[in-house]
Chain A
Amino acid sequence: MAPKSDLLQGTLDLLILRTLATGPMHGWGISLRIQQLSRDVLQINQGSLYPALHRLEQQGLIEAEWGNSENNRQAKFYQLTREGKKQLAEETRNWERLADAVARVLAG
């Protein structure tokens, strides 16, 4: 079902899904969280974040709801759907397999 995606896009999708696995979050929060978790190695470019969020929403992997943010402003909160959770599990497995394979080749 998911469109064929290059590594980068696929990776971003995976990161978003993983981030959302901890709970509903708005776009700003997602970008902060990824930055934090990766210890500033991964700077999320907003130019790809929002299209990715909307694409995932269209694919039914995440769903959105308007709610109040911590500073009491209207914000769009995203959360994983059932399909999104399945997709995350699968993608994570794929990623681990890939990382494993790459590591083995490099260790070669």
Chain B
Amino acid sequence: MIRHLSTRLRSLFRRDRLERELDVELKYHIDMLIEQNVRAGMSDLEARRAALRVFGPVDGIKDDVRDAWLSRFVETAAQDVRYGLRNLRRNPGFALVVMLTMALGIGANSAIFSVVNGVLLRPLPFRNGDRIVVLRQGQGDTVANNMGFSPKDIDDYRQARSFSDVVEFHNMFFILLGRAEPERVSSGVVSANFFDVLGITPMYGRSFVPADEAHGAPAVLVLSYKYWQRSFGADPKVVGQVFRMNDRPHTVVGVLPPVPQYPLEVDVYMPTSACPFRSNPKNVENRQFRLMQTAFALVRPEVRLSKSQADLDLVAARLGKDHPDDYPQTNFRATETPLKQDLTRDFKTTLLILLGTAGFVLLIVCASVANLLLARMVRRERELSVRAALGASRQRLLRQLLTESLLLAVSGGLLGLIVAAATRSLLVAYADRYTSRAIEISIDQNVLLFTLVVSILTGLVFGTVPAWSARFDVAPALRDGGRATHGNRGLRSALIVGQVAASFMLLIAAGLTLRSLMKLQSVDPGFRTENLLTMRADLSFNKWPLNMERRLRTQKTADYWTEFEGRLRAIPGVLEVAGSSTFPLNERGPFSNGLQRESKPLPPGVQPPQVDYRVASTDYFKTLGQPIVAGRAFTTGDTVDAPGVVIINQSAARHFWPNENPIGTHISGGTNARNEPVWLTVVGVVADIRQQLEQKPHDEVYVPLGQLPFSSTNWVVHSNRPIDQIAREVKAAARAHDPDLPVANFRTLAEVRSSSIEKPRVTASLIGIFALLALVITAAGIAGVIAFSVNQRTQEFGIRMALGAPRVGVLGMVLREGLTLVAIGLVIGMAGALALTQVLQTLLFEVQPTDSLTFLGVSTVLLMVAVVACLLPARRAASVDPMIALRAL
């Protein structure tokens, strides 16, 4: 029987050897036939021919033999499956519990893996995806101190020999006219060969050609797939149509295929020549006109990344030397990051933590199912013994048990895929807050393969444990009249300890992230978030003729916003109105600029430290309730013609004016056209606030909207009236002010605040769900083990009580048994948690990974759940009727 099994295993794994043996065997037969023929008097050749004729087609025979090998294996497997299915049908409750547990465990992993696969593992969906790097330049940490790039910078980096090209991208908002309504479109301004470098071919029409980029070339547009679908109803005839933008006709020349867009999603693309700012010759000449956040380079196929970085270093060093006024003279460098890596920089750690927690859940699920199978094994012992007695070999029975486990695991895996598919849209929305690769998340073949492998592995894990512990001895099981003789108690206890330990760690992770979230939610940002309505208003670039003199243009824009503000304030019930570049907690951040004090000149070549700049209207601080701690707020007198003024925050005051009064002193954030610093007077100091809940206040400089009127503004309206009423009236007021002014994105500041912590909230929820799942499964496991043990010891309890043991004593005995396991698990879990929670550090806000309150709380919760889980079966033990129990002996 063992030989027979080994043949079959060989037929699976040692196919080559079997084939060789078959050749030898058949050749022997043919040789014998030849010999026989020769003896009968044939010539050698004749004998061989005759033998082969008699023997028949060798290949055909071999095929038939191979069929014999295979059919037997398939047949046994099919038999195992049939028998397994019958067995599971006989215990539908058991099968259902196991499959659902598996579905949750595997589903959680498949779901998280589908995200990992979509955003981390899959190659970028472009031809050149793996050779694109993102460039940054700055002092020291180029990500934190990224200066951005000017067109001149890009030209110079093109000299780096490792790159076959460097392309620019910057994002602008323009108003597209010529359709039913003016449309505010997000535009990607790119080099002509942008799409060639990335390796994207348009779906309709063409992409850009070098001629499009020539100064004064007719303006052309390429539409993104999404925008084309949304705004043009997917009409291919849009290619060739002409729209007005920035006072020029723009011709649509192409439509992109549905590919993810990097670095960010835009509606249309235009060559650099079409952007009124980028194409302005004065800007092109200015090295400090750094409107590109990043640049993209295509690394030559034969160049290794370390080599291209060395090339970048060379260019950066030369730039600093050749243009000392335009680059920091110390610690200046340029860096490259593979695009694929750059796109998920903020997400990777979180994602891997989530995958890890899901893995823990699966381990707990495995332990729990193994435990269920062990318990069931005791009940099946008789059946297995009978089969063993009837001649089934140990291997055959083991195989049968494993087949059943695999059946359970694979059906659990299939259900798990449903879980993964059902949660996909939720996870995409979540991932979308971290990375533009989110749309690539799908249940693809990698996810299917992952699920299959995980299912089979878990099936093997939880199937092997009980299978190996099973005894197929004929005698004892049958002799005992079918009463189970052993319960694998040691193994089952170990599994429970493991489950408790793993659950504890997961609960700690959940507790820490939850506490961190609660801290985030209760942070006092230092300003009012109630009864405020926020919105965005964008002035079209072609509101004033583009050739209008700059000062007049500034004046007109300032007046335009002053009038708009007046209209908003006139709405009944509106208490205050604030106009600004952006408002606290908004996705749009401040802009960075240097801060230089007039009284502390910097040595030549030293760049001033960068601080946050924000534009604020007269009532901005009053509206937000951000206290002015010294000096004054902006007034209507701070106009274009008046002397330039700024307000700084306390943090900037501390850092730049230690033990000094900043009011009345002069600072500069930049230079004028003649490269002289423009000095501004500090007129006030405002209290520090958190612009993002998780960030400590930065150093800030506020500039009056009246002196630096942005065309793209955000507004905050303070009113005690219902917000949706106010929103309606604001829209009406905006229309009355200027029908071409798009006002959009109405949200209360409370909503913005809530949305700003959506990422930690979802992360905490996911970990919380995983931990809760683990807790429930573990509690059920504990209850199951204790109930089983109580069942086995019914007689013992009966005797004890008959001999006078009080019920409470029996109850205590059972409880002690359960809680000992839990306590051991808790200690192990605590050690594990202390070792592992450090990895959570990046997710935590003002909570230590060893937070004692969390550890205490989680221990308490776990113990309480464990006590309940033990009490249910323990009560049954205590209620055993001694007489009945004894009679059953």
**Chain A residues engaging chain B, CB cutoff 8 angstroms:** 3, 26-28, 31, 45-48, 50-52, 54-55, 57-60, 63, 66, 69, 73-76, 81, 83
Contact = CB atoms under 8 A, between A and B. Distances in A.
B75 interface: yes
B544 interface: no
B72 A59 contact: yes
A83 B25 CA distance: 24
Contact of B55 (A3, A46, A48, A55): A46
A75 B28 contact: yes
Contact of A28 (B8, B32, B65, B67): B32
Contacts of A47: 56-57, 60-61, 64
Contacts of A46: 29, 54-56, 61
Contacts, number: 73
Contact of B25 (A3, A63, A76): A76
B4 A74 contact: no
Nearest to B55: A46
B426 to A, nearest CB: 51
A83 B61 CA distance: 26
25 contacts: A3-B71, A26-B28, A27-B25, A27-B28, A27-B29, A28-B28, A28-B29, A28-B33, A46-B55, A47-B57, A47-B61, A50-B25, A50-B61, A52-B68, A54-B68, A55-B71, A55-B72, A57-B4, A58-B7, A58-B11, A58-B69, A58-B72, A73-B31, A76-B25, A83-B1
B438 to A, nearest CB: 52
B72 A74 contact: no
B29 A55 contact: no
A9 to B, nearest CB: 11
A81 B459 CA distance: 34
Given A28-B29, A58-B8, A60-B1, A45 B72 contact: no
Interface of B: 1, 3-4, 7-8, 11, 21-22, 24-26, 28-29, 31-33, 54-57, 60-61, 64-65, 67-69, 71-73, 75
A58 B18 CA distance: 13
B68 A51 contact: yes
Residue from A3, A45, A58, A83 with most neighbouring chain B CB atoms (10 Å): A58
A64 to B, nearest CB: 8
Nearest to B56: A47
Given A27-B29, A69-B28, A54 B4 contact: no
B68 A55 contact: yes
Contacts of A3: 71, 75
Nearest to B76: A58
Contacts of B11: 58
Given A46-B55, A75-B28, A51 B65 contact: yes
A51 B61 contact: yes
Contacts of A60: 1, 4
Contacts of A57: 4, 7
B20 to A, nearest CB: 11
A52 B69 CA distance: 11
B64 A51 contact: yes
Given A27-B29, A46-B54, 13 more contacts: A3-B75, A28-B33, A31-B29, A46-B56, A50-B22, A50-B29, A51-B67, A52-B68, A55-B71, A57-B4, A59-B72, A63-B4, A81-B4
Contacts of B22: 50
Contacts of B75: 3
A74 B4 CA distance: 21
Nearest to A29: B32
Contacts of A51: 61, 64-65, 67-68
A50 B26 CA distance: 8
Contacts of B25: 26-27, 50, 75-76
